[in-house]
Structure 1
Amino acid sequence: MPVSSFITSSGGCDWSKIDLYVSTDVHTSIAAIPPTINDRSDCLRWRNTRDGAFSIKSASFIWLIAHGKILTNSHRLHRKLTDNAMYPRCGREEETTLHALRDCDNVADLWMRFLNPQRWNAFFSLDLCEWIEWNRCVHARNDISENWQTTFGVAVWHIWKNRNLIVFENHIPNMQDLFFQILYMVKDTLWCKETIGNMKFKSSKALRMIGWKPPDREKVKCNVDGSVFESTNTAGCGGVVRDASENFIFSFGHRLGSCDIIWAELNGVLDGLELLWCKGFRSVTLECDSEEALELIKNGTADNDPCSGLVHYIRECINRCWNVDLQHVYREANRAADLMAKLSHSLPEGLQSFDAPHAELGSILSSDLSSLLLPCLCVC
C-alpha cells in the first residue's frame, strides 16, 4: 500500500491503520517525521509562517488553497452539493480555484490595480502551486501596494470572503469597495507588524543568575529537552527526573528520526509524561526550555498543523487523573536534560530509560545540587 493510504485528509498520520502493524516504539519514530505532501513540496515552502512571508491567518488560508480544500462550485458539483458549477461573480465560467481567486475578469482587474504592470504576464500565466510560490518570493508590488507578500495574502482572503458573501448572503458585488477593503487591511496589517517589531526592539534585557531548583515537597521534577544535529540530519530528546530532596530518580533518551527541533521538544515532553505516569508518579512538575512547544501544548493546534497529532497526545496525557504543572525554564537551568537529549543520538532507536545517571551527567547533577547559578540575559 502507498504511504498516502495511511494519511488523513488533513495531512496527518491515520494511526487507526498504522497501529495495527507497528510497535509503540515504531509508532513514536513515525510520529517524529513530519508528513510530506506529494507534488506540492516546492510551492509549500512558505508553510512555516515563522519566516514572515505571510501572516498566520493568510498562510493557513493559502495552505487550504494549495491543497484543494476550498469548496469552489466545481468541487461542490463533484460532491453533489450543487447542480451549478459556474462562478457566481461572473456566471460565465466554471468556478475553479484559480478562476475564483485570479482569472475572472473582475478579479483580474482588481489584481492589476495592485500589481506592477511588468509582472502581469507572469502573475496570470502560472498554475496554482507555481502561482503561490511565485507570490511568496517575488516583489510584484506597484506604488499602491507597500509589501507584496502581505498584499497577496490579504487579497486572496478578501476575494474569497467576498465570494462567500455573494453565494450565501446574496451580497451585490462591488469591486471598488473590495479594493479599498484590501488596501486598508494591508495598511493596518503592516502597521501592526511595525508596532510589534518596535515593541520587541525596545524591550529591555537584564542579566540574571539562573540555576536549577528542586520541586515542591511531595512532587518530582522532570526536565526535558530536544536536540537536532544538522550535520547528520538526526534528532533526539531526553530528560532527567529528580525529587524534592534533589535525588536522581531516572533519566531517559529517545533517538528519533529526521525531524525539526519543535518535534524533538514535543517528543521530549510526551516521553517524560508517559514515563512518569507508567512509573506511578502522580504529582509532577515538568520543565522545558522551548516556549514555542509549551505554547502549542497550552493553546492546541489546527487539525492541519503537522504537530497536531503529537500535541493531541500530550494534552490527553496531561488530562489524566494526576497533577501536572508545565513550566518554562531557561537553558541554564536545563543542562541535565540538554545533555540527555544530545546523548540520545548515540542510543539504540526508541525510548530508553536509565535508573542510574550516565557518567557525563554526574558533574551537572553535582553543580545543580550545590545550587550553582549561571548568568543569563533575560528579557524583562
Structure 2
Amino acid sequence: MGNPGMDGGGGLIRNESGEWVKGYARAIDYATSVVVELWVLKDGIQLCISLKVPALVVELDAKLVVDLLKKDVENLNGISVLVANCRERLKEIPLVCIQHCYREANKCTDVLVRRGATLKQDFTIFMHPPFDVAFLLNLDFAGSCYFCDVASGLEVS
C-alpha cells in the first residue's frame, strides 16, 4: 500500500507439521516496508515466547530484514531499536533459524498482512485461521505449488 504508506502486517505460527497454532495481524498507520516487517516480526517473537516455543524457524520475504538480523550493522537510520529488540527477544528462544522465502511461498501470511491493513483495532490474535487462510492452509497440505518468475516477478499457480 505504498512505501512509505498506510499499511498492515501479519503472520502465523505453525507447528512442526505445518499446522496452524496462532495467527496475528497489526494495523500500522504510516511506515516503510522495513519498519512494518520489523514490527510484525517483533509481534511474532513475543507470541512465540508467550507460547514457550522451544525452536523457531522465521521465514521473512524481506531479504533486507533477514540481512539486518543476521549482520552486526550499526546506525540504521531510526530502525536500530527495532532490530536490536528483535535480536534480544530471539535470544529467549533456545533454537532459532532466520531465513528468506519468496512471498509466493507464504500466501497465508500475505492474507493476514492484508487483513492487518484493514483492522479497526491496532492488533489482533487469531486463535483459529480465518476462512481464507484456512483455505490456503488446506492447499498447502494438498501440496499445491506456486511458481514465481523471479526475474520478472510474474506468478503462475
> TM-score, normalization: structure 2?
0.87
Q: Could you list the runs of 5+ residues in structure 1 that have no partner in the other structure?
A: 1-228
| Cross-structure match for 2:120 | 348
Structure with higher RCO (Cα < 8 A, 6+ apart): 2
Q: In 2 relative to 1, CA 367–295 (structure 1 residues): closer, same or farther, beyond 3 Å?
A: same
- Equivalent position of 1:333 in the other structure: 105
Deviations 1:76-108 (A, max 9, x none): xxxxxxxxxxxxxxxxxxxxxxxxxxxxxxxxx
Residues 301 and 307 in structure 1, CA contact (< 8 A), matched pair in contact too = no
1:366 aligned residue: 138
Provide the C-alpha distance between the structure 1 equivalents of 2:37 and 2:76, rounded to a whole number of angstroms: 19
User: Hey, which of these two has a bigger chunk of strand by percent?
Assistant: 2
Shift of 1:321: 4.7
**Residue 278, structure 1, aligned to residue 73, structure 2:** no
Query: What amino acid does structure 1 have at the position aligned with 2:92?
Result: R
Shift of 1:378: 4.2
Structure 2: 5+ residue stretches without partners: 152-157
Partner of 2:20: 248
2:31 aligned counterpart, secondary structure: coil
Superposition CA RMSD, Å: 2.0
2:30 is paired with a residue whose SS is coil
Task: Give the Cα separation in 1 of the matches to 2:32 and 2:102.
Answer: 20
Q: Find the structure with the greater CA-based Rg.
A: 1
Q: 1:338 to 1:304 in 2, by over 3 A?
A: closer
How many angstroms does 1:345 deviate by? 1.4
* Alpha carbons 2:23, 2:128 under 8 Å: kept: yes
> Partner residue of 1:292?
64
**In structure 2, C-alpha distance between the alignment counterparts of 1:246 and 1:262, rounded to whole Å:** 26
Aligned residues: 151
One-letter identity of the residue aligned with 2:111: L
Amino acid in structure 1 at the alignment position of 2:58: L
Distance 1:301 1:255 in 2: 28
Distance 1:321 1:251 in 2: 18
- In 2, the alpha carbon distance for the partners of 1:366 and 1:309 equals 38
Q: Distance in 2 between matches of 1:248 and 1:332?
A: 18
- 1:246 Cα deviation (Å)? 2.6
The CA distance in 1 between the partners of 2:66 and 2:130, in whole Å, is 27
Question: Is residue 268 from structure 1 mapped to residue 40 from structure 2 by the alignment?
Answer: yes
Task: State how 1:160-179 maps to structure 2 within 5 Å.
Answer: none
Structure (1 or 2) with the greater helix fraction: 1
Q: Which amino acid aligns with 1:348?
A: K
One-letter code aligned to 1:283? A
User: What letter matches 2:109 in structure 1?
Assistant: A
Distance in 1 between residues matched to 2:85 and 2:118, nearest whole Å:
26
Alignment of 1:19-168 (within 5 A): none
Aligned-pair identity in percent equals 23
Distance of aligned partners of 1:247 and 1:304 in 2 relative to their CA distance in 1, 3 Å threshold: closer
